Structures are given as C-alpha cells and as structure tokens.
Amino acid sequence: MRLWEVATWAEVRTLTGHTERLFGVAFSPDGTLLASGGADATVRLWEVATGAEVRTLTGQTEAPFGVAFSPDETLLASGGDDATVRLWN
C-alpha cells in the first residue's frame, strides 16, 4: 500500500505486510492510524507518521472488504466475504 501527499502527489511511503491484494482502507478520525483489509483475511493497523505496523488482526475466515473506525476511535469494524462484521476494541 502506498501513501501519497495529496498537495504534491509525491509518494510518502510504502507499507508492506499484506501477502495478497487489498480491498479496504480507512484513516482513523484523528489521522494517526490507517486500517487495511486484505485478501489474506487480515486487518492491519499502521501508524501513519512512521509507516510502522501496529497490529495484525485475525479472525475473519475470508477477505475483509471494508474497514471503518468509530468516530471516537474506540472501535474498528471490518466486514468481509465470510458474511460477518467484526468489531475490534
């Protein structure tokens, strides 16, 4: 996954960790975290400022197609091809 500076379209950094293609990404409301869901059936959390992977969330048996943070950033939702929605604290 690549992050780009929108004002200049310069690439900021590349985030690696997923072993298959990505389906969904979401920035946390405060912009410090990025969540990504991939065909490898994982949801990964990243620090935007450094590109460091914070955590890998497993539990979905199929690809999570969508990820979303709650407005207060206390929950992350992921929904996928296994017909489930998971809430992560």
Residue 42 has pLDDT above 90, yes or no: yes
pLDDT the model gives residue 24: 94
Domain range holding 37? 22-88
Confidence of residue 51 (pLDDT cuts 50, 70, 90): very high
CA dihedral defined by 32, 55, 26, 21, rounded to 10 degrees? 140
Domain CATH for 84: 2.40.10
pLDDT of residue 59: 87
Query: How does pLDDT run across 62-85, given as a tens digit for each residue?
Result: 999 999 999 999 999 999 988 999
**Count of alpha carbons within 13 Å of 6, Cβ hemisphere only?**
0
Residue 80 CB neighbours (<10 A): 23
Q: What is the pLDDT of residues 10-19, one digit of tens each?
A: 999 999 999 9
Tell me whether residue 68 is in a domain. yes
Instruction: Give the pTM.
Output: 0.90
Number of domains in the chain: 1
pLDDT higher at 72 or 60 = 72
